[in-house]
Amino acid sequence: MFIELDLQSETPIYTQLVDQIVEGIACGALQPGEQLPPIRSLAEDLGINLHTVNKAYNLLKQEGLLQVHRKTGVIVQPGEMPGVTEAFEEKLRRQLRSLAAAAAVRGMAEEVFAQESRSVYRDIITNRGGE
């Protein structure tokens, strides 16, 4: 598995898990329909609690990025991905707003901030063609 956790970080482990799985899907490391490790084995691999993995999976299921079946296990949502809903846009903007304000206050120019955003996005996507 490609997941790396920072147990020292102050961001909750389940959040880190969610982020990394989302990134995995975004960059194509996790294909639609692909199987994710069972909760128990992933928890064991990462040396974390079973509930933590479960929480992450459930959050992603609620967001429509994963499907959880009893028998089949957990797979990446095949076919139709959630898409950009209004709720998502609002949430995205609210968080960007906070980051932009912090950047602006420290004197980072609009162009630099936009460029930073673009380059971060590109970093994630860049490997997508490869799989």
Residues 5-34 that bind a copy of itself (CB under 8 A): 7-8, 10, 12, 19, 22-23, 25-27
Rounded-to-integer distance, Cα 128 and Cα 131, Å: 6
- Decide if residue 6 touches DNA (CB under 7 A): no
Give me the phi and psi of 65, to 5 degrees please.
-95, -20
Rounded-to-integer distance, Cα 22 and Cα 24, Å: 5
Give me the phi and psi of 10, to 5 degrees please.
-90, -5
Could you tell me where the beta strands, DSSP code E, fall in 1-131?
Answer: 66-69, 73-76
Residues 73-92 that bind DNA (CB under 7 A): 73-74
- Decide if residue 64 touches DNA (CB under 7 A): no
Q: Select the residue interacting with DNA from 22, 27, 55, 77 (CB under 7 A).
A: 55
Rounded-to-integer distance, Cα 118 and Cα 125, Å: 11
Residues 37-76 that bind a copy of itself (CB under 8 A): 62, 65, 67-70, 72
- Decide if residue 60 touches DNA (CB under 7 A): no
**In the complex, which residues of this chain contact DNA (CB under 7 A)?**
7, 10, 12-15, 38-41, 47-52, 54-55, 57-58, 68-71, 73-74
